[in-house]
Structure formats: C-alpha cells, structure tokens
Amino acid sequence: MKMPAFRDRWAAYSLRERALLAILAVLGAAILIWWGVILPILDYRSEARAAYRERLLDYAETDLILSRLGEGGGDAAVEETFAAAGLDPAVTTQGDGLGVSLPAARADVLMSAMARLEAGGAEIEQAEVETNGDATLAAELVVDERGRDVSE
C-alpha cells in the first residue's frame, strides 16, 4: 500500500478507531521489545548469576581443601576418613601415594571407610587384607589421592 493511500485510509478512520490502532501498534512494539531485547538480557543475567554461584562454590571448596591440606597434608585427610570410621591407621608416604596400615578392623567398617575414601576421589591402588584370629582384618593399603576431595 502506498503512502497516500495509507493517509487517505487513516483519515477515513474515526478518532476511536485511530486510538485503538495506535494502542495496538504500541502494544505490538512493546511485545517485540520484550521478547527481542529484554528477555534475552534477563536470561543472560540469570545464566551469569548461576555460573557465578557455581564458581563461588568451587572456590570455597578449593579453599577448604587447600586449608585442610595445609594443616596436615593429604595424610591428615586419609587419617580423618579412617578416624571417622573409628579406626586408627598408621599413614606413611609411599611414592606418589600414601601407605595405610590397619592392624585390626571389622570387615564392614574397613569396607565402609575404603568406600568413603573412593567416594571422596582417592584411589586405592593396592590392598592387602588378611584375617586375624579374632574375626577382624589386618589391611595394608596404598592410596593415591591425586584429585582427592577432602571436603567430605
């Protein structure tokens, strides 16, 4: 439609019809601005906020790990895991990992502690388990704790 024809048609509308068409045009523009500009900005902000929260939690976790490692090294984290299970291990450094010696432990307690270690990110590279005469187990473990999450 050419501009003069549009002007003639617009002039033919009553004042009420012109007002309704103007309101319709303003609402259409507002909807386009909302969907095309404002919502993408709000989505970007919420994604950035979620990423920031995730990084903040990662930083707090890393800070906790570093502070705990600074207190006693990785062997302290392994000792804490076994102590939480009620065991008293002898922890020594062996190459890239830690040697853990347990003279007597119930089977369920030992397996639970080993599972907690592995759930925390440590890897049990070697385990030598022997039965004692009193229904307990004696264990010699080699734990590789690279990547260990000691925050649990």
Q: What is the pLDDT of residues 42-70, one digit of tens each?
A: 899 999 999 999 999 999 888 777 666 55
Q: What are the residues whose beta carbons fall under 8 Å from the beta carbon of 90, sequence distance 6 or more?
A: 100, 101, 102
At residue 19 the predicted structure's pLDDT band, cuts being 50, 70 and 90, is very high
At residue 72 the predicted structure's pLDDT band, cuts being 50, 70 and 90, is low
Mean pLDDT score across all residues of the chain = 84
Distance of alpha carbon 75 from alpha carbon 125, whole angstroms: 15
- pLDDT score recorded for residue 90: 86
Report pLDDT digits (tens) over 79-125: 888 888 888 888 888 777 788 999 999 999 999 999 988 887 778 88
Prediction pTM value? 0.48
- pLDDT score recorded for residue 23: 97
Distance of alpha carbon 80 from alpha carbon 76, whole angstroms: 6
